[in-house]
Amino acid sequence: MHIVALHNLKGGVGKTAAAVNLADQAARGGLPTLLWDLDPQAAATWCLNARPGLGRAPKKLFRRNAPIGKERQRTRWPYLDLLPADESLRHLDALIEKGKDGGRLLHGLLEPFSESYGLLLLDCPPSFSRLAEAVVRAADRVLCPLIPAPLSLNAWRQMEGHFDRRRYGRDKLRAFLTMVDRRRRLHRDWVAARPTSLRRCYETWIPYSTEVEKMSLRREPLMAFAPRSPASVAYARLWSELAREL
Ligand SMILES: Nc1ncnc2c1ncn2[C@@H]1O[C@H](COP(=O)(O)OP(=O)(O)O)[C@@H](O)[C@H]1O
Ligand SMILES: [Mg+2]
């Protein structure tokens, strides 16, 4: 099972949009996929038309090798399941903080999923919580969406620096450009040639598109209602680029 996390210290950069659409793309290709919504704001859960909340109390949920998989929900789309967002993730965060080895706790929780899924996508909250740290450690790839802007490069360098200090291996970190508005000069420049400090950036960029915004009204992935929109095509390409590497 490949583990891919969407992560950026900034909010509102398109992590959730990418997580939902990449999960959808993978599932459409017949790869059994689980999307775990780790953000208590529950945006991914909402976009997949599911209910937030895990059934059992956190103490029961987050023991090592606990069958957290029982909490997953089927979605309307074949091969695509969801582990919805839940307030109790704070509890998991605290458990990881308290325990000596948060990574092992998370590993124990994720391990059973490898029997049922080829891909686990994790939609992270915009922070470096203990949980996010453990997720990043466990992930094969950490995708960081960036909106073309000078400050985005700071965010990227911060991520790289953090990965180095914690020895997560910056090789697993990937950037991709999102919300690209070709009417804007800087956006066109970055599409034509990525800034030199932006290494390991995918070729594919996601255009700014009102169709993406509509996902939260329609509560479905882009492919379900606008399969031919440029953004939909871009997510499909992004998935191919990612899948080639896995
Ligand atoms: N490519 C895009 N074009 C236009 N709007 C977008 C695009 N990607 C995301 N959005 C919108 O921007 C907002 C933040 O996106 P979201 O994916 O929730 O970001 P994050 O998960 O990083 O906080 C949402 O309202 C979403 O609909
Ligand atoms: Mg989000």
Burial of 192 (0-12, 13-18, 19+ CB in 10 A): exposed
Residue 228 pLDDT exceeds 70: yes
With a 6 A CB cut-off, is 14 part of the ligand 1 pocket? yes
* Out of 69-83, 215-229, 231-245, least confident range: 69-83
User: Where residue 93 falls among pLDDT bands split at 50, 70, 90?
Assistant: confident
User: Where residue 131 falls among pLDDT bands split at 50, 70, 90?
Assistant: confident
Give the structural domain span for 89.
2-245
Q: Whose CA is nearest to atom 23 of ligand 1?
A: 12
Cβ distance 144 to 7 under 8 Å?
A: yes
CA 238 – ligand 2 centroid, Å: 18
147 vs 61: CA distance, rounded Å:
36
> Does residue 158 sit in helix, strand or coil?
helix
Q: What is the pLDDT of residue 128?
A: 80
Which string of b and e fits 158-182 if b means at least 16 CB within 10 Å?
A: ebbebbeeeebeeebbbbbbbbbee
Three-point CA angle 139, 149, 220, nearest 5°: 55
Average pLDDT, the chain: 92
CA 28 – ligand 1 centroid, Å: 22
* Out of 79-88, 93-102, 124-133, 156-165, least confident range: 93-102
Residue 109 pLDDT exceeds 90: no
Cβ distance 173 to 160 under 8 Å?
A: yes
- pLDDT tens-digit series, residues 38-87: 998 999 999 999 998 887 776 677 766 666 778 889 999 999 999 999 88
* Out of 114-123, 128-137, 180-189, least confident range: 128-137
Q: Whose CA is nearest to atom 15 of ligand 1?
A: 14
With a 6 A CB cut-off, is 13 part of the ligand 1 pocket? yes
Q: Report the candidate in 131, 187, 127 with the shortest Cα–Cα distance to residue 159.
A: 127
Residue 139 pLDDT exceeds 80: yes
CA 4 – ligand 1 centroid, Å: 19
CATH of residue 88's domain is 3.40.50.300
CA 180 – ligand 2 centroid, Å: 18
With a 6 A CB cut-off, is 11 part of the ligand 1 pocket? yes
> Does residue 95 sit in helix, strand or coil?
helix
Count: domains in the chain: 1
Q: What is the pLDDT of residue 64?
A: 62
CA 233 – ligand 1 centroid, Å: 16
Torsion sign (Cα): 126, 219, 224, 139: positive
Q: What is the pLDDT of residue 50?
A: 94
Residue 74: what are its φ and ψ, rounded to 5°? -75, 150
With a 6 A CB cut-off, is 12 part of the ligand 1 pocket? yes
Question: For residue 63, what are its two tokens?
Answer: 């023991």
- pLDDT tens-digit series, residues 156-211: 999 999 999 988 888 999 999 999 999 999 999 999 999 999 989 999 999 999 99
Which string of b and e fits 102-131 if b means at least 16 CB within 10 Å?
A: bbebbebbbeebeeebbbbbbbbbbebbbb
Q: Report the candidate in 21, 235, 224, 8 with the shortest Cα–Cα distance to residue 121.
A: 21
> Which of 122, 127, 213, 237 is the pocket-test mutation for ligand 1 (most atoms within 8 Å of CB)?
213
Which is higher by pLDDT, 61 or 236?
Answer: 236
CA 72 – ligand 1 centroid, Å: 24
With a 6 A CB cut-off, is 178 part of the ligand 1 pocket? yes
* Out of 5-14, 126-135, 220-229, least confident range: 126-135
Closest ligand to C-alpha of residue 217 is 1
In ligand 1, which atom is closest to the CA atom of 207? 1
Q: What is the pLDDT of residue 58?
A: 67
Compute the average pLDDT of residues 121-131.
89
Question: For residue 49, what are its two tokens?
Answer: 């038309």
- Alpha carbon separation from 108 to 98, 105, 114, 164 (Å, rounded): 16, 5, 11, 25
Question: For residue 171, what are its two tokens?
Answer: 């090789």
